Amino acid sequence: MAFQLSVLVPTPAHSQLSGPLSYRSPSPWGPGQLVRAPLGKREVLGVVWDDAPVEGDDGYDKDKIRPLSGALEGLAPLTPGWRQLVSFAASYYQRSLGEVALAALPPQLRDLSPVQLQRRIKRHAKDTPSAAARDTATNAPDLSPEQQTVMAQIRTQAGPFLLFGATGSGKTEVYLRCVQELLDADPQAQALVMVPEINLTPQLEQRFTERFAPQYGADCLVSMHSGMTNPQRLKSWLAAHSGAARIVLGTRMAVFASMPQLKLIVVDEEHDPSYKQQEGARYSARDLAVYRARLDGAKVILGSATPSLESWYHSRPAEEGGRYQRLHMPSRIGEHSALPLVRRVDMNHQPKHAVFSTPLLLAIQERVQRGEQCMVFLNRRGYAPVLHCSDCEWKSECPHCSAFRVFHKVDRTLRCHHCGFTERVPHHCPACGNADIRPMGRGTERLEEHLAELLAHTRRPDGEPVRIARIDADTTRLKGALENQLAQVHAQEIDVLVGTQMIAKGHDFRHITLVAAVNPDSALFSSDFRAPERLFSLLMQAAGRAGRDADISARSEMWVQTFHPTHPLFASLKQHDYPAFAEQQLQEREQAGLPPMSFQALVRAEARTQEVAQGFLNLARLCATDQAQEMGVTVYAAVPMSVQRIANVERAQMLIESASRVHLQRFLQHWHAVLQATRQQPEGKGLIRWAVDVDPLAI
Ligand code: ADP
Ligand code: ZN
Ligand code: ZN
């Protein structure tokens, strides 16, 4: 007797075989069972999928259908909820089921022998906390009135919730309390708490461990993020899957964690672009979290001081069509914890080419002399210096990309941030031989250097010279480097911290009384319609870094240097008025028919030439003209991507837009086959790859 099972294996994204494959098995494993299956010459991990097993030896070709290598016995099957989440994600984001399902599982599962697996499962069974350990007192503070109101709403309403709370208003405390109530009430329930970046997990982990370890044991909590080793990932996954871990803390990948008793999902800093996966299945972990909560009957809380305009729009009053419940905590915790004063410096009245205006420089000096800390940031990573010849206008272009290579002073190299191509800095201009070639534009490195010159005579209260440190992707490449630098800031060994947006996010700096954004203007006039939204949230975040301690918050300031001081974005910022900013932005978006009032997808194509990439897209567009019209979907002509060439590969994209999400989805489902067929045409020759990005964040 044998059974024929349909099994998901890691199939390539666009392969014709994108559904489950058939395998033979002596046992009728049910849906969700993890198995080992042969695929080509390899043995891979697989998941038995939902079609009913076919019994008996007849009815299928035994020579074609291969037998399974084995099952991971003892592991509970993946739940129907998990399988539905995977199915939805695959279909919505237009990827193969196998790819999505297997990317969500720890790769090491496949390598465990049955004996190893049994040992691990037993270990987790032992770890399950006993009810007796549950009476320990906790170290939780009394809730503020705003926190109490919000808690009462979460308790009694269904959500999804958008917790709109100022930085320092006690959102994290609300998450902790919701998790606490859940764990206390239901001895099995699990909670998933997501943060945007790996850097933020240690802080959060510490806060959760302090709160829950005394009562539920240190093993009640596990992390999941891409910085973990495979053995660590496996361990966390097994703990969550077995139910031993009651709390999972993680980055976007954690939205796929197997948590059979999931009852609460928190998405902190829900506006953060890091929740969107930027390769493979380009899912939004925030959106999937909301979907998953509905599938699992869990509550979901999205939290932010500057919500994404999507979530803000969804949380408009129900009478106007809102689907989320908006909860508001406007006040910072602590009696004197005012938000910092926002000061705009009109750069039109400063000397030409000045990087630091005189008033800002004076303000920084004053703080240093008083023994307080300042933070100066450039809002764009890409704002790095390009090498330039003043004689012939040569610039350090990358030969393989349509981008400039960036000058790195430390090792005197020119480095392409897109393809990685690196060369020693030339002594003479490669075009005209001029020896006077120098950087133009300012990266953080030059900013730090420049500031050091300007503050050369400034002294700390102890008479020592000012100490400046820089934190960005370059200074933190080594493991532990960021932690070290942050520790120095916390220990007040640093007076001025210079960096990119990396320093503006989440870190709890206690002694910073001045935050300055030196060049935020570029985002005001970007072709990317989301640039103002990102800038506003970044500046609010940065402002939130100042004055975290009640006794210094009264004299905390946020400085913005701009050529457009009357821009509405800065006016709203000065008032710390996110709703006003959101209102103005949503009006603009509505007039222009942009998200969240409309829905978008991008199809990207890569080829050796721009003609081939665009030709492929335009032909696929032509073949779907009627359908697009029928379904009320607009398909725009192909255009080069903003970085048109990377590593000698030309990139083009095509925008698809609709006022209806359902129509857009229906069109994409139909169009997928058209794109695949187009690839087989002569016009598809030379195409390297293509992919769909649904709800893209950057166009
Ligand atoms: P957010 O997540 O909104 O930035 P946090 O939850 O981190 O805010 O709270 C900010 C600070 O206030 C933290 O140091 C936290 O420990 C403290 N805090 C939060 N809620 C309370 C409370 N009810 N009573 C006293 N301190 C609180
Ligand atoms: Zn030259
Ligand atoms: Zn390059």
Whether 505 is in the pocket of ligand 1, judged by its Cβ within 6 Å, is no
Whether 147 is in the pocket of ligand 1, judged by its Cβ within 6 Å, is yes
Cα 332 to ligand 1 centre (Å): 8
Whether 81 is in the pocket of ligand 1, judged by its Cβ within 6 Å, is no
Residues 6+ apart with CB under 8 A from 564: 521, 524, 570
Residues in the chain: 699
C-alpha–C-alpha distance, residues 335 and 266, integer Å = 27
Q: Are 207 and 268 in contact (CB under 8 A)?
A: no
Whether 171 is in the pocket of ligand 1, judged by its Cβ within 6 Å, is yes
Residues 6+ apart with CB under 8 A from 68: 5, 7, 23, 24, 25, 35, 36, 37, 46
**From the DSSP assignment, how many helices (H) and strands (E) are in the chain?**
19, 29
Whether 333 is in the pocket of ligand 1, judged by its Cβ within 6 Å, is yes
Burial (Cβ within 10 Å: 0-12, 13-18, ≥19) of residue 143: middle
Dihedral over Cα of 39, 239, 206, 187: its sign: positive
C-alpha–C-alpha distance, residues 578 and 165, integer Å = 10
Burial (Cβ within 10 Å: 0-12, 13-18, ≥19) of residue 424: exposed
| 689 beta partners | 606
Enter the DSSP assignment of 385.
-
Q: Which two tokens stand for residue 451?
A: 């500031």
CA distances from 575 to 340, 343, 552, 566, 579 (A): 10, 11, 20, 13, 10
Domain locations in the chain as residue ranges: 3-105, 145-329, 341-381+443-590, 384-441, 599-694
DSSP, collapsed to helix, strand or coil, labels residue 446 as helix
Helices (H), 186-329: 201-216, 230-242, 285-296, 309-314
Please give all residues whose CB falls under 5 A of ion ligand 3, grouped by chain where several chains appear: 398, 400-401, 416, 418-419, 421
Please give the backbone phi and psi of residue 556, each rounded to the nearest 5 degrees, phi first: -85, 145
C-alpha–C-alpha distance, residues 55 and 70, integer Å = 18
Q: Which two tokens stand for residue 590?
A: 């509505």
Q: Which two tokens stand for residue 508?
A: 């709890």
Q: For tokens 């689907």, name the residue.
A: 323
* Helices 145-156 and 171-185, axial angle in degrees (round to 10): 40
Using alpha carbons only, what angle is made at residue 376 by residues 375 and 382, rounded to the nearest 5 degrees? 135
Whether 170 is in the pocket of ligand 1, judged by its Cβ within 6 Å, is yes
C-alpha–C-alpha distance, residues 332 and 349, integer Å = 35
C-alpha–C-alpha distance, residues 334 and 549, integer Å = 9
Q: β-pairing, 299-304 with 262-268?
A: parallel
Q: Are 282 and 696 in contact (CB under 8 A)?
A: yes
Cα 607 to ligand 2 centre (Å): 32
Q: Can you tell me which atom of ligand 1 is nearest the CA of 173?
A: 6
Whether 172 is in the pocket of ligand 1, judged by its Cβ within 6 Å, is yes
Ligand 1 atom 11: residue of nearest CA: 168
Judged by its nearest atom, the ligand closest to the C-alpha of residue 423 is 3
Dihedral over Cα of 210, 212, 217, 223: its sign: negative
Whether 550 is in the pocket of ligand 1, judged by its Cβ within 6 Å, is no
C-alpha–C-alpha distance, residues 629 and 635, integer Å = 9
Cα 420 to ligand 3 centre (Å): 6
Question: CATH number of the domain at 3-105, out of 3.40.1440.60, 3.65.10.10, 3.40.1010.10, 3.40.50.1100?
Answer: 3.40.1440.60
C-alpha–C-alpha distance, residues 289 and 267, integer Å = 8
The CATH architecture one would assign to domain 341-381+443-590 is 3-Layer(aba) Sandwich (3.40)
| 560 beta partners | 344, 517
Enter the DSSP assignment of 465.
B
- Name the CATH superfamily for 145-329: P-loop containing nucleotide triphosphate hydrolases (3.40.50.300)
Cα 647 to ligand 2 centre (Å): 24
Q: Are 35 and 102 in contact (CB under 8 A)?
A: no
Enter the DSSP assignment of 24.
E
Whether 167 is in the pocket of ligand 1, judged by its Cβ within 6 Å, is yes
**Strand (E) or helix (H) holding 553:** helix 550-553
CA distances from 89 to 82, 325, 343 (A): 11, 24, 44
Q: Can you tell me which atom of ligand 1 is nearest the CA of 305?
A: 3
Whether 169 is in the pocket of ligand 1, judged by its Cβ within 6 Å, is yes
Please list the ranges in the chain whose pLDDT falls under 70: 1, 12-18, 52-63, 124-138, 335-338, 379-384, 441-443, 473-479, 504-508, 546-554, 699
Edge-to-edge strands of the sheet including 406-408? 422-424, 413-415, 406-408, 386-389, 437-440
Question: CATH number of the domain at 599-694, out of 3.40.190.10, 3.40.50.10860, 3.40.720.10, 3.30.70.100?
Answer: 3.30.70.100
Residues 6+ apart with CB under 8 A from 227: 198
| 605 beta partners | 652, 690
> In terms of Cα–Cα distance, which of 10, 90, 77, 24 is closest to 50?
77
Q: Are 264 and 182 in contact (CB under 8 A)?
A: yes
How many beta carbons lie within 10 A of that of residue 251, not counting itself? 22
> In terms of Cα–Cα distance, which of 533, 505, 567, 573 is closest to 343?
573
> In terms of Cα–Cα distance, which of 573, 489, 500, 565 is closest to 536?
573
CA atoms within 13 A on the CB side of 267: 31
Using alpha carbons only, what angle is made at residue 623 by residues 617 and 629, rounded to the nearest 5 degrees? 105
Using alpha carbons only, what angle is made at residue 407 by residues 278 and 454, rounded to the nearest 5 degrees? 110
Q: Which two tokens stand for residue 193?
A: 């708490």
Per-residue model confidence (pLDDT) at position 56: 61
Whether 586 is in the pocket of ligand 1, judged by its Cβ within 6 Å, is no
Per-residue model confidence (pLDDT) at position 156: 94
Q: Are 516 and 347 in contact (CB under 8 A)?
A: no
Cα 288 to ligand 3 centre (Å): 34
Judged by its nearest atom, the ligand closest to the C-alpha of residue 434 is 2
Per-residue model confidence (pLDDT) at position 255: 97
Same CATH topology for 3-105 and 145-329? no
Q: Can you tell me which atom of ligand 1 is nearest the CA of 167?
A: 4
CA distances from 175 to 133, 145, 302, 698 (A): 22, 16, 10, 30
